[in-house]
Amino acid sequence: MQFDFTLAANQSQHIDVVGTFLKYKAGTGTIRVRLNGGGYIDLLPGQGVNNVNFTSVDVQDRTGAQNVGTILAGIYDFRDDRITGTVDVVDGGKARSNSGAACIGYVNQVAVAATYPHVQLLNPTGSGKNIYVEQISIYCGETMNGGASIQRCDYVYADLVVKGSRKRVSGGAVSVAELRRESNATQQGHGIAPYFAAIDKSLRLFKFSEPLQLEPGIGLDVANGTVGEGIGVTFEYFEESA
């Protein structure tokens, strides 16, 4: 049952009710509830007690000011499964674009006779950021018979082409990550076992289940495994403080 009360500062009100459950549903502030069986408890709005036996209660203001409110009391167990307020589901990708953390960059290496083309996404030493690579798009317009390798590398390619761009297209500072390229007489392997995409004249997407993390001083190398060919790669990634 519901009982309303209006109390002056420190005033008490007697309520005759038989029950085992009591809840302070709403009110101006703290109240003290005395049960006829002895003892008392101070309650804030939303608090209550159960598994106690009483045939009457006294409600006293503890705010020192007028207190208007409601209690629930009786032989039952009141439940409230509602979720109050709002529940927001945050789109992480959208949030990173809004904040400027999400980035994209393209780099290519043209065919050079008797060499293998390499491109690199480099997180330079001292950047203060970790780079998380989510997807790589690899394109080769030639035979690509040797496939493409994706490998960790801890050295810097000679030719800095550009820095990555923010996915927030309204502008802002460029990414800390550098897009570099180089042609080498040998295929260089550094770190993780390579993934291969043996496809002719085609675009191949690598979307990782979890992003690859590049700490400062570490780069990601993508190479065409066929000598004398070119390669173009788009990196999609985001930055976070290291």
What pLDDT does 83 receive? 59
pLDDT of residue 190: 47
pLDDT digits (tens, 9 = 90+) for 190-212: 445 555 554 555 667 888 888 99
- Report whether 119 contacts 108 (CB < 8 A): yes
CA gap 55, 30 in Å, rounded: 22
Q: How many other C-beta atoms lie within 10 A of the C-beta of residue 192?
A: 14
Give the pLDDT confidence score for residue 198 in this predicted structure: 47
Residue 226: pLDDT band (50, 70, 90) is confident
Determine the average pLDDT of the residues in 167-171.
81
What pLDDT does residue 19 have? 84
Sign of the CA dihedral 9, 56, 73, 35? positive
For residue 236, give the amino acid letter.
E
Please tell me which of 64-73, 82-91, 231-240 the model is most confident about, judged by mean pLDDT: 231-240
Instruction: Say if residue 142's pLDDT is above 80.
Output: no
pLDDT in tens, 77-128: 666 666 566 655 556 788 888 888 999 999 999 999 999 889 999 999 999 9
Question: Where would I find the beta strands (DSSP E) of the chain?
Answer: 2-7, 12-26, 31-35, 40-43, 48-61, 67-74, 102-109, 116-123, 129-140, 148-153, 159-163, 165-166, 178-184, 202-214, 218-224, 231-241
Name the burial class of residue 82, with classes exposed (0-12), middle (13-18) and buried (19+) by CB atoms within 10 angstroms of its CB: exposed
pLDDT grade, residue 144 (50/70/90)? Answer: low
**Cα gap 66→238, rounded to integer Å:** 56
The reported pLDDT for the residue numbered 191 is: 46
Ordered domains of the chain (ranges, CATH): 2-74 (2.60.120.10), 99-241 (2.60.120)
